[in-house]
Amino acid sequence: MLLDPTTTEIIRNSLVYASEEMGIALRNTSYSPNIRERMDHSAAIFDEEGRLLAQAEHIPVHLGSLPWGLARTLDYCEREDIDLEPSSMIMVNNPYIAGTHLNDVTVIRPVYHSNRLVGYAANKAHHSDVGGRVPGSISVDAKTLFDEGVVIDPRYLIRKNWIIKSAVRALSSRSRTPKERMGDLKAQTAANITGERRVLELVKKHGLKTFRQACTESLRKTEQLARLRLSKMPTGTYQAQDYLEDPDGENILLSVSITLSKGSLKVDYTGTDKQVSNPLNAVFGVTLSGVYFVTRTLTGDDVPANHGAFAPIQVHAPEGTILNPTYPHPVAGGNVETSQRNADLLYRTFSQAVPDKVPADSGGSMNNVMMGGRCRGKSWAFYETIGVGLGAQRDRDGIDGIQANMTNTMNTPIEEIERSYPLLVKQYELRPDSSGSGHLRGGTGIIRSYQALTNEITVTVLAERGRNRPQGLSGGGPGARTEVSLYKKKRGRSEKIRLPVKTTVILDEGDIIEIKTAGGGGYGRPEKRERQRIEEDLENRVVTLPL
């Protein structure tokens, strides 16, 4: 019997809302500012086969890593005889299983109805500190995964609805902020229980058979729509290259070719440089996320984010390269920086096929800032990312000062920073003269600076675009480079020291660390920009000289 299309859509949308509600529950019950204020988390619901049914519009870098991570976690549990029994939850942060980096802890809940597996509720949240060399755990000079914090393979977090204290301690005991870790883990369990409750309500209302039919039909229709959109793109093979900036001063090559043919997409990273002995390696789940994100933005936002949308896509990244490293290479920066370069690289490649749909390079970095130390007898750790300028497109200027591509977290409110940490935010504004020139200009970057209110604060900045500027399209100019500066107090005066964009320094009371993020590339020849737009840019101090 054919299923009523209306019922299919009701169930599909209900699952989307359920995943969104999971995110709300996680945010509202979390302990750390990074999750509570910045919303650095994602939530998703899967069917009993592990196929993605719905994922909330949270963090794009989790788009491919959650399905990839669930599949690998289920394989691990089967090999190790870990039974995902009713009323249990599994936790994991090993990126070679879970799919991002150690700070992202994934919690999975199997959903049962009348002792029959219906699916899984899962969420991933960035814990601000999981141990490792530096506060915030993301080190610029990590040589192995173990330098980046505690590594947790899949294990029970909950059995028979009771929290396993040893599992919580496995994370919290290695963190500089154990109380936050315990609170955030409990928030993750609450989110999964919320998702489970909503799934079971749908099963009870429609019946298990109808629920499963609707899910299968939803995936089929989504795949059909995704293939239709891909089939409208010009067939052919297109290639592009870009570079990451190695902390040692070298460039790391990323190379990709995409093949569009008959409603399918093949992505091949053959030619990309080998894995490196620093944290810029990106596990394959992160690489998948970049492909899925870019493809989804080009096929239309009416294509649901589920397994069907990704079925027409094949991705190959040779093992042992920076986009598919081998255990235990460090990977913290791959999740946050290499993922961004991958997205810009893919857009650059697609620009040869669908130039009207593709933006110029974004600022191309999450501009990760990690700080920590001791204050009033307690350890503290702070993490945030800073927005950039988006690249311009054929019909619009780039957006100013926004999280780009693989992340869409909020900023940490200044009041929250100054209330929670021994820091004073000295400056937070758009960065003039950072946008790429063009008929349509790129977005501007951001200036954000922090002053230390106590001694011996360890600060790590992990950013990109310090050497290689974000490129424009169709004659547009490049965006400004990222700049990091230290203002060191000496004998009552402040000395400015230019730092690498990947660096760790110690701040003493009164010192200031300043990050100027990159602007987006422009689109079209600058001389074609309308006079009125130039005057508006001058008036708004987007530029101080005409582009």
pLDDT tens for residues 213-235?
Answer: 999 999 999 999 999 999 999 99
Confidence of residue 543 (pLDDT cuts 50, 70, 90): very high
Is residue 314 scored above 80 in pLDDT? yes
Encode pLDDT of 402-412 as tens digits. Answer: 999 999 999 89
Residue 14 inside a domain? The answer is yes
As a whole number of angstroms, the distance between CA 346 and CA 358 comes to 10
Rounded to the nearest angstrom, the gap between the alpha carbon of residue 158 and the centroid of all alpha carbons in its chain is 27
63 vs 362 pLDDT, higher one: 362
Model pLDDT, residue 491:
77
As a whole number of angstroms, the distance between CA 78 and CA 478 comes to 50
Residue 476 inside a domain? The answer is yes
pLDDT (mean) for 511-527? 98
Contacts of 426 (CB under 8 A, 6+ apart): 449, 450, 451, 512
pLDDT (mean) for 91-99? 98
Average pLDDT of the residues of the chain = 96
Write down which residue in 200, 222, 244 finishes a domain: 222
Confidence of residue 160 (pLDDT cuts 50, 70, 90): very high
Model pLDDT, residue 288:
97
Please state whether the peptide bond connecting residue 422 to the residue before it is cis, i.e. omega within 30 degrees of 0: no
Model pLDDT, residue 403:
95
Confidence of residue 1 (pLDDT cuts 50, 70, 90): low
Encode pLDDT of 436-457 as tens digits. Answer: 999 999 999 999 999 999 999 9
Model pLDDT, residue 57:
85
Can you name the residues that pair with 459 across neighbouring β-strands? 371, 505
CA distances from 139 to 37, 153, 168, 385 (A): 23, 21, 24, 15
Residue 273 inside a domain? The answer is no
Task: Name the strands in the sheet holding 104-113, side by side, starting at the edge strand that comes first in the sequence.
Answer: 52-55, 41-47, 116-126, 104-113, 89-92, 155-159, 162-163
* Percent with pLDDT over 90 in the chain: 95
At how many degrees (to 10) do helices 178-206 and 208-231 cross? 100
Write down which residue in 222, 240, 269 finishes a domain: 222
Q: Comparing C-alpha atoms, which of 499, 501, 154 is closest to residue 333?
A: 501
The token pair that represents 124 in the structure block: 């991933």
At how many degrees (to 10) do helices 208-231 and 284-299 cross? 70
As a whole number of angstroms, the distance between CA 464 and CA 517 comes to 9
Residue 229 inside a domain? The answer is no
At how many degrees (to 10) do helices 65-79 and 284-299 cross? 140
Confidence of residue 64 (pLDDT cuts 50, 70, 90): confident
**What CATH number corresponds to the domain at position 173?**
3.30.450
Model pLDDT, residue 494:
86
Residue 405 inside a domain? The answer is yes
How deeply is 146 buried, as exposed, middle or buried, from its count of CB atoms within 10 A (0-12, 13-18, 19+)? Answer: middle
Containing domain of residue 76, as a range? 5-222
CA distances from 528 to 230, 300, 513, 534, 539 (A): 32, 29, 38, 11, 19
Residue 139 inside a domain? The answer is yes
DSSP 146: G
Residue 328 inside a domain? The answer is no
Total tally of structural domains belonging to the chain: 2
Within this chain, do residues 376 and 524 fall inside the same structural domain, yes or no? yes
Confidence of residue 179 (pLDDT cuts 50, 70, 90): very high
As a whole number of angstroms, the distance between CA 120 and CA 122 comes to 6
Encode pLDDT of 35-54 as tens digits. Answer: 999 999 999 999 999 999 99
As a whole number of angstroms, the distance between CA 117 and CA 139 comes to 40
Write down which residue in 174, 191, 222 finishes a domain: 222
Residue 491 inside a domain? The answer is yes
Radius of gyration, alpha carbons of the chain = 23
Is residue 546 scored above 70 in pLDDT? no
